[in-house]
Amino acid sequence: MNAANRPLVSVVIPTFNRAWAVERAVDSVLEQDYRPFELIIVDDGSTDQTSDILARYGDQLTVVCQENRGVSAARNSGIVRAKGDLIAFLDSDDYWKPQKLTVQVDFFTFHPDALICQTGSFEKFLAWMKPEFRPWVTWV
């Protein structure tokens, strides 16, 4: 944990040819009400204007460029570079509400035995999930 006793969160965004969407994803992370976090974007060999868009952010984020190896390899590259106590993933064509990291860090603070948590539409998730697994779900 950091000096203020708040965990550093490493946010990893893998991207490939998402110039049309990556800006919204990045902005949603930069607008989080939680600090501290680091933002790592893994450009998985984009051939569009993704790199130009990311360059506009300067030192607000870290860009890792690699040959196209797929989204899983891009996430793994981000994990290797992460310095945080917690890691959060965001797809480059998605975005977060400003309180997302706060809600999840609070969850881990109050549930120190938890290894993973996720946010989203709980009702949609339960509708998809088999009934026999529902009693073991914790949602924040």
The answer to whether 32 and 3 are in contact (CB under 8 A) is no
Instruction: Return the closest-CA partner of residue 16 out of 67, 80, 60.
Output: 67
Give dist(CA 41, CA 60) in Å, integer: 11
Using CA atoms, how far residue 118 sits from 89, 105, 127, in Å, is 10, 11, 16
Dihedral of alpha carbons 74, 79, 82, 87, sign: positive
Is the per-residue pLDDT at 122 higher than 90? Answer: no
pLDDT for 121 beyond 60:
no
Q: What are phi and psi of 71, to 5 degrees?
A: -65, -35
What is the average per-residue pLDDT within 54-58?
A: 98
Query: Among residues of the chain, what percentage have pLDDT more than 90?
Result: 71
pLDDT at residue 1, as a whole number: 47
Q: Note the pTM of the prediction, 2 decimals.
A: 0.84
Contact, 129 vs 137, CB < 8 A? yes
Can you tell me the mean pLDDT for 58-65? 98
